[in-house]
Structure 1
């Protein structure tokens, strides 16, 4: 759909359905434009579009319309290999349109010059811009995230922070900060859209849309993207959970096990017993693996060199990092797919 939709075009946006929720004084049809970047996450994209379709169906009014674009106008291929036909190439949009960049892996694909330029122009002329999954990369390169609350998928946050050290994403599922809107992708795109629908047409109507999505209404709640450390580890030990959280937040400059034990209110011996009994690893081995997992993430999501990644993950020497990496993953860092730099082994 475009900004020149006829009455028949708008009627086509209103599918039939059994459920009905009236909307008083709906106002003009609100518009969205989705830029599908190669490798975009299909789940996140559909999770953003479907609440708009459901809103139209429930109200039996064209509350929303949407337009799909790709950088070159060709069908966009998602990360699952499914192609989506778009309405055309990137083009200027009216400032009332909310422009969202839908991306996935590789995360930096969203930083293509044409996409970044479209975001810059739209925001400069008063439009709202958004990022879904790793779409925040385009917003970062466009210079619109400074002093804004924003987020992107937790998997890509370490690489993002290394690439844009002056920007700090939140761990929220979505963020709405004036004319900048972002979400972590996946089902969080639905949470974000329902929050926007609530702003447009009220909490009662948005809750009905949420029910149609078979999800609980959580307006006003700001859950984080990931389960808590205690839930993932299935541990109820506050000491162990606190120690693991400290390790995960101190990767570039590792703490000593003694300092960690002291910080969480235990002894080193007590911490070692807890780790071995509940995780089958010593604290030192667990901590090293946390740092190596971060390194693997950076290898997959950034263009940083091996030496830079080694330093960012708390290894004093690249040779030490390489040996530890191979011991954990069975492959040296330079052999991972797509690594342009080579390190003498």
Structure 2
């Protein structure tokens, strides 16, 4: 790329607009972090001045290991940043970037820093699973927020007062959250658009080789049709009904009424299109929800069983072992070992 060919956009007041702190949690998502910081760098280059400044922080000021094994050096600790809140280096925004094993993060000084920053009028945000840390800090009660779809079941159970959505990103007043991955780019493009307009956003997209700006409420996951490789409209409608009723499963008769088919028609259709019975498929997606709760929450197994539509923990354990080859207790123990190894 010819750097000299990049036309900057003139501005009468080349004054930095935002100062941002990225607080990196252990095992943070590198893709979420890079997708947040790079559009800011590109925007600065297009504008021809430093509209966005940033610095990196960790809980103790030491380097942080991302989930991909890359170690990132930071310039400050939470304690340093807390002191900056009362001085000239106070940021205008703080983003917490997290990733896998966020449920194990428990740093009271970070929670206190985030609460104080928010109380002083600093915008706060979460990248990927950073919403979990914001919720632990008490900042997401009755607030719209977004988190990665894989973490949504555990988050919903752990923080029932948070108004969580399976959207790409959410901006609720001065609280910013996104689902991670490439959704960080979308949220930052929205921020840049608010600051500098659509023309700058389009030019950032051109530099980043992305051909569209996604809306905040665009879906995180592939559509069912693409995800499952199923084209039959009735089967897709049945699966949508099932996915919307995991905690309190509907009977096959109720599902059949919802798609205006007989029970026998639904059974034949499912066998043909999915290769298994509707009852079996419904069981599998409920167990998948249970597995996410086992891995991402500290809920007792009996509560996970109930939240996944099982009448008893024993029946849940039996079904779980049959599908995954290990008991719920063994699953949770394996997860604890993996978390300890990553620490």
TM-score (structure 2 length as normaliser): 0.90
Is the 1:26–1:63 contact (alpha carbons within 8 Å) kept by the matching residues of 2? Answer: no
Give the one of 246, 252, 255 matched to 1:260. Answer: 255
- Among 31, 39, 62, which residue is 1:43 paired with? 31
1:295 CA drift (Å): 0.8
2:171 to 169, 176, 180: 176
**2:64 pairs with one of 52, 65, 76:** 76
- Conservation of the 8 A alpha-carbon contact between 1:23 and 1:201: no
Match of 2:235 among 231, 236, 240: 240
Give the helix-richer structure, 1 or 2. Answer: 2
Q: Partner of 1:343 in structure 2? A: none
Structure 1 stretches lacking a partner, 5+ long: 1-15, 341-345
Alignment of 1:1-345 (within 5 A): 18-29=5-16, 30-90=18-78, 91-92=81-82, 93-94=84-85, 96-218=91-213, 222-336=217-331, 337-338=334-335
| SS of residue in 1 equivalent to 2:146 | coil
What secondary structure does 1:169 align onto? strand
Question: What is the CA-CA distance between 1:112 and the residue it aligns to?
Answer: 2.8
Runs of at least 4 residues off by over 3 Å: 93-96, 219-222
Q: Which runs of 5+ in 2 are unaligned?
A: 338-343
Moved more, 132-141 or 90-99: 90-99
Does the residue aligned with 2:164 lie in a helix, a strand or coil?
A: coil
Question: Structure 2 CA distance, aligned partners of 1:168 and 1:240?
Answer: 30
SS in structure 1 of the partner of residue 95 of structure 2: strand
SS, match of residue 299 in structure 1: helix
Cα distance in 2, alignment partners of residues 48 and 17 from structure 1? 25
| Aligned residue-pair number | 325
For the aligned residues, what is the CA RMSD?
1.8
